């Protein structure tokens, strides 16, 4: 048996422990000796759990036990997750995690620690929950030059946007339903302001380029300004509103990375992705377009991704796996020069000012169904800087980029 330890017996951690027990038969096809959870580290006791006898509270018990070969960190947050992960790597254990916050902020350091100690650090579950995306990037797509990666990376916001679109409901009302259903956290800021999506696109951009994309430098907008009329105007031009994290290689070789709502056209594979589902779109110069679709969160899907790392680590004991990226920083393109078409929604009385400010503006016709008080337009493809200059002081209700 290969002995492992799980740090954090919450939603994901308990899923990992159960999955390893329940799916041992399938795991043994790849790891014939089997995998066994020897320790579960948590702050609390779990007296009613069938795993109560494995619960410990001191990380040293795990790091000092030579039988433990793999540690799964499913606690979340930066500390003590970072300290515990580093300690495990330094003690000769490989580590895997679902903790995107830690991977984005300190993953480079942990990969370096892993390398220095002949160990591996994997984090399949940190992006896209149950969707296998990081392993395909590390294995099946190593030969590809990736030029676009990203997509719908946050199930909470995709659920909210889908409900708003289908039911014409207001953002605050749908957020409340999402919280009641457990799709959104009590403090939804990280989801609705786009921070969670931003961390995930930083991880994907780092993987695609092999250099570290810095989350703090990635322009980030959430969905709080999206309102019912935006869906009607989007539909009128054959598009849907989606919060995307997108990284693109530009003509000059630099990378643009951004989190923002986009109007996605019907022909694009991301268009029909709705509800809590996530999808990651990849373009490689040889393989062309790919899309990876599935549940971006939840106990079982996320645990499945963590256990896929455990199995890979168990198959490579004593064989360190290549780091996902190196310490070199990915320099991002000047976002002011990035070009897009922009959708603008404004009070109808602002229409003449907008038409005078932009050299070319296409008005969106709702076929008489929109009220007389609002107007919406689409610009030509222009740079972010030109857009800001043209818009100047004109007050508008919302602006969304077109994909
Ligand atoms: N849930 C998902 O669907 C999902 C999907 C993808 C990724 N993730 C990521 O996976 C990680 C875990 O998420 P989760 O939803 O499983 O969180 P969770 O349910 O809150 O579980 C975390 C567990 O770790 C325990 N813990 C916290 N600090 C600890 C410490 N210092 N020592 C020992 N145990 C400690 C917590 O105990 P207390 O409850 O007592 O604090 C809790 O039992 C997060 O990074 C999250 O972003 C989650």
Nearest Cα neighbor of 72 from 113, 33, 122 is 122
Protein residue with least CA distance to atom 28, ligand 1:
75
Mean pLDDT, rounded, for 155-171: 93
Mean pLDDT, rounded, for 341-351: 96
Instruction: Classify 393 as helix, strand or coil.
Output: coil
Q: What average pLDDT does the chain have?
A: 95
Instruction: Classify 36 as helix, strand or coil.
Output: strand
Q: Tokens 């956290």 belong to which residue?
A: 185
Mean pLDDT is lowest, of 28-32, 190-194, 363-367, for: 363-367
Protein residue with least CA distance to atom 18, ligand 1:
10
What pTM value is reported for the model? 0.95
What's the CA-to-centroid distance between 6 and ligand 1, angstroms?
11
Is the shortest distance between the CB of 286 and ligand 1 below 6 Å? no
- Dist CA 4 CA 317 (whole Å): 12
Q: Residue 248 CB: number of other CB atoms within 10 A? A: 18
In this predicted model, what pLDDT tens digit does every residue of 371-381 receive, in sequence order? 678 999 999 99
- Dist CA 9 CA 342 (whole Å): 45
Report whether pLDDT(278) > 80: yes
What pLDDT, on the 0 to 100 scale, is given for residue 332? Answer: 95
What pLDDT, on the 0 to 100 scale, is given for residue 183? Answer: 79
Report whether pLDDT(179) > 80: yes
- Dist CA 366 CA 371 (whole Å): 9
What pLDDT, on the 0 to 100 scale, is given for residue 368? Answer: 64
Mean pLDDT, rounded, for 261-290: 97
Is the shortest distance between the CB of 9 and ligand 1 below 6 Å? yes
What pLDDT, on the 0 to 100 scale, is given for residue 371? Answer: 67
Residue numbers annotated as active site: 200
The reply to whether domains 142-295 and 335-402 share a CATH topology is no
- Determine if residue 107 is left, alpha or beta; phi over 0 gives left, psi from -120 to 50 gives alpha, anything else beta: alpha
Tell me the backbone φ, ψ of residue 2, rounded to 5 degrees: -95, 120
Is the shortest distance between the CB of 182 and ligand 1 below 6 Å? no
What pLDDT, on the 0 to 100 scale, is given for residue 184? Answer: 80
Probe residue for ligand 1, chosen from 7, 9, 11 as the CB with the greatest number of ligand atoms within 8 Å? 11
Mean pLDDT, rounded, for 55-76: 98
Beta bridge partners of 345: 376, 398
CA dihedral over 85, 314, 301, 146, signed as positive or negative: positive
User: What is the number of the ligand 1 atom nearest to the C-alpha of 126?
Assistant: 7
What's the CA-to-centroid distance between 356 and ligand 1, angstroms?
53
Confidence of residue 185 (pLDDT cuts 50, 70, 90): confident
Q: In what order do the strands lie in the sheet with 35-41?
A: 55-56, 35-41, 2-7, 68-73, 94-97, 121-122
Q: Which CATH number fits domain 2-130+299-315: 3.40.50.720, 1.10.1740.10, 3.30.470.20, 3.50.30.60?
A: 3.40.50.720
In this predicted model, what pLDDT tens digit does every residue of 119-144 receive, in sequence order? 999 999 999 999 999 999 999 999 99
Mean pLDDT is lowest, of 64-78, 167-181, 357-371, for: 357-371
Domain limits, the chain: 2-130+299-315, 142-295, 335-402
Q: What would the DSSP string read from start to end of 283-339? A: EETTTEEEEEEEE-SSHHHHHHHHHHHHHHHHHTTTSPPPPSS-SPBPPBP-GGG-E
CATH topology for 335-402? Alpha-Beta Plaits (3.30.70)
What pLDDT, on the 0 to 100 scale, is given for residue 362? Answer: 95
In this predicted model, what pLDDT tens digit does every residue of 295-318 receive, in sequence order? 998 999 999 999 999 999 999 999
What pLDDT, on the 0 to 100 scale, is given for residue 180? Answer: 87
Is the shortest distance between the CB of 128 and ligand 1 below 6 Å? no
Is the shortest distance between the CB of 206 and ligand 1 below 6 Å? no
Tell me the backbone φ, ψ of residue 55, rounded to 5 degrees: -75, 130
Is the shortest distance between the CB of 31 and ligand 1 below 6 Å? no
- Dist CA 186 CA 355 (whole Å): 42
131 near 152, Cβ under 8 Å? no
Cα distance from N-terminal residue to C-terminal residue, the chain: 50
In this predicted model, what pLDDT tens digit does every residue of 100-121 receive, in sequence order? 999 999 999 999 999 999 999 9
Confidence of residue 367 (pLDDT cuts 50, 70, 90): confident
| CATH top class, domain 142-295 | alpha beta
- Dist CA 364 CA 344 (whole Å): 10
What pLDDT, on the 0 to 100 scale, is given for residue 372? Answer: 72
What pLDDT, on the 0 to 100 scale, is given for residue 108? Answer: 97
């Amino acid at each position: 048996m290969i002995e492992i330890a799980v740090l954090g017996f919450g939603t994901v951690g308990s899923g990992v422990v159960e999955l390893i027990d329940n799916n041992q038969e399938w795991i043994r096809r790849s790891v014939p000796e089997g995998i066994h959870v020897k320790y579960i580290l948590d702050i609390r006791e779990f007296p009613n759990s069938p795993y109560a006898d494995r619960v410990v509270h001191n990380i040293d018990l795990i790091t000092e036990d030579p039988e433990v070969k793999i540690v799964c960190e499913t606690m979340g947050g930066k500390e003590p997750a970072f300290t515990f992960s580093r300690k495990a790597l330094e003690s000769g254990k490989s580590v895997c995690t679902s903790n995107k916050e830690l991977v984005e902020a300190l993953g480079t350091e942990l990969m370096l620690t892993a390398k220095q100690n002949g160990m591996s650090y994997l984090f399949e579950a940190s992006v896209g929950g149950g969707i296998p995306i990081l392993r395909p990037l590390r294995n099946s797509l190593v030969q590809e030059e990736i030029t676009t990666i990203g997509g719908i990376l946050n199930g909470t916001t995709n659920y909210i946007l889908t409900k708003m679109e289908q039911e014409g409901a207001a953002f605050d009302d749908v957020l409340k339903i999402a919280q009641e259903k457990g799709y959104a956290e009590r403090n939804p800021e990280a989801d609705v302001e786009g921070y969670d999506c931003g961390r995930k696109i930083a991880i994907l951009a780092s993987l695609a380029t092999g250099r570290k994309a810095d989350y703090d430098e990635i322009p980030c907008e959430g969905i709080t300004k999206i309102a019912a009329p935006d869906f009607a105007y989007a539909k009128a031009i054959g598009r849907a509103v989606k919060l995307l994290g997108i990284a693109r290689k530009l003509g000059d070789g630099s990378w643009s990375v951004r989190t923002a709502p986009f109007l996605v056209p019907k022909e694009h594979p991301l268009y029909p992705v709705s509800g809590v589902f996530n999808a990651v779109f990849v373009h490689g110069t040889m393989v062309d377009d790919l899309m990876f679709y599935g549940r971006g969160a939840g106990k079982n899907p996320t645990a499945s991704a963590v256990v896929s790392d455990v199995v890979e680590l168990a198959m490579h004991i004593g064989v360190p796996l290549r780091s996902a990226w190196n310490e070199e920083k990915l320099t991002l393109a000047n976002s002011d020069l990035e070009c897009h078409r922009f959708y603008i929604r404004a009070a109808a009385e602002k229409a003449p000012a907008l038409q005078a400010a932009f050299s070319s503006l296409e008005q969106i016709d709702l076929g008489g169904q929109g009220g007389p008080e609002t107007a919406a337009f689409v610009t030509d493809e222009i740079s972010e800087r030109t857009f800001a200059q043209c818009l100047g002081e004109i007050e508008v209700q919302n602006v969304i980029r077109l994909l």
